[in-house]
Amino acid sequence: MLRGSNLAGITVAKSEQSRKAAALFHLDFHLEALEYGIALSDASAYNIQFIGARPIFIDTLSLRRYRPGELWAGHRQFCEQFLNPLLLRALVGVSHNAWYRGTQEGIPTSDLRRLLRSRHKLSRNVLTQVGFSAPED
Over residues 47-95, the pLDDT tens digits come to: 999 998 899 999 999 999 999 999 999 998 998 899 888 888 888 777 7
The answer to whether 95 and 16 are in contact (CB under 8 A) is yes
| 77 conformational bin, left if phi > 0, alpha if psi -120 to 50, beta if neither | alpha
Q: What is the pLDDT of residue 117?
A: 73
- The model's confidence at residue 137, banded by pLDDT at 50, 70 and 90, is very low
H-assigned helices in the chain: 16-35, 75-78, 84-87, 96-102, 109-115, 118-121, 124-126
Q: What is the pLDDT of residue 4?
A: 41
The answer on pLDDT for 38 being more than 50 is: yes
- The model's confidence at residue 1, banded by pLDDT at 50, 70 and 90, is very low
Q: What is the pLDDT of residue 2?
A: 43
Q: What is the pLDDT of residue 91?
A: 80
The domains of the chain are located at 7-65, 75-131
Over residues 90-118, the pLDDT tens digits come to: 887 777 777 767 677 787 777 777 777 77
Model pTM score: 0.75
Over residues 5-20, the pLDDT tens digits come to: 444 455 555 678 888 9
